[in-house]
Amino acid sequence: MNIEELSKSQLILLTILVNFVTSVATGILTVSLLDHAPAFVTQTVNRVVEHTIETVAAAAPATIIQQVSAPAPSNQDLVTAAIGADAMRVVALYSAQTGTSTPAIAIGTFLPKSRAVATAAQDALPDELLVEFTDGTHSPASLAHKGKGVAIYGFGNDTVLPKMPAPTLVAASDLKLGQTVLAISSEGSAATGIISRVSDKGIRTTLPDIGTGSAAVDLAGNLIGIASGSAPGVLFSSDIITALLNATTTAATVSADASAKS
């Protein structure tokens, strides 16, 4: 029989047969050599085989158990983590003229990704502020945009700001009635509630009075809105903050382009 006349299937079967015969012959040869080898060689080979089996047997179940038994975070863990993230972003706002020699005139929430602070617009808020972060550092900020009850303050490009995870701004359309909402009040105490209504006039929750400008977050620590101060539990939606941030970015870009052309 000419091997060139074999089909592909026959060639594959022939290859498997050759490999099988070779493996059997190798095993028989190895056993025969070990029977005639010195005792210390046989002991060494046996130790290597036993150690390999023990290592594989010990490692495999541990990996499987670790993957299967990894517990999902409990509701309490989610609440604790979300409040902790919210607390890190709370900032105290002081007048730039008086600094920290006088009490803070408002509180706000720091938005690291946008390099900005969002708070509820108030008559007492000047255009220039001194922002105090939770790590005790201070940075000057200027009013960048204001509208629909919310004020956005921005920092200079050279200002060094604290590093922390940036929250996602949750759109009002993504909120659900009965959804858990968390907050840190102006006094530093934690508060929990649920969303009771979402409308064009704002977001209503069962949160107590957390202080004008305080942020409210969901269980993931993402920003839902900030307290309007008009009534306990009423929030300005994050949609307003997003619109103001986009307007601020656009205005800054237009200003830079105008300066370049002049």
Tell me if 95 is assigned to some domain: yes
How many other β-carbons are positioned within 10 Å of the β-carbon of residue 215?
29
Tell me if 97 is assigned to some domain: yes
Tell me if 83 is assigned to some domain: no
Domain extent, residue 128, equals 90-154
Distance CA 218, CA 187 (A): 20
Tell me if 49 is assigned to some domain: no
Tell me if 235 is assigned to some domain: no
Tell me if 251 is assigned to some domain: no
Distance CA 139, CA 67 (A): 45
Tell me if 129 is assigned to some domain: yes
pTM exceeding the 0.75 threshold for the entire prediction: no
Interval 110-153: pLDDT, tens: 999 999 999 999 988 999 999 999 999 999 999 999 999 999 99
Tell me if 104 is assigned to some domain: yes
Interval 153-165: pLDDT, tens: 999 999 999 999 9
Give the count of domains, the chain: 1
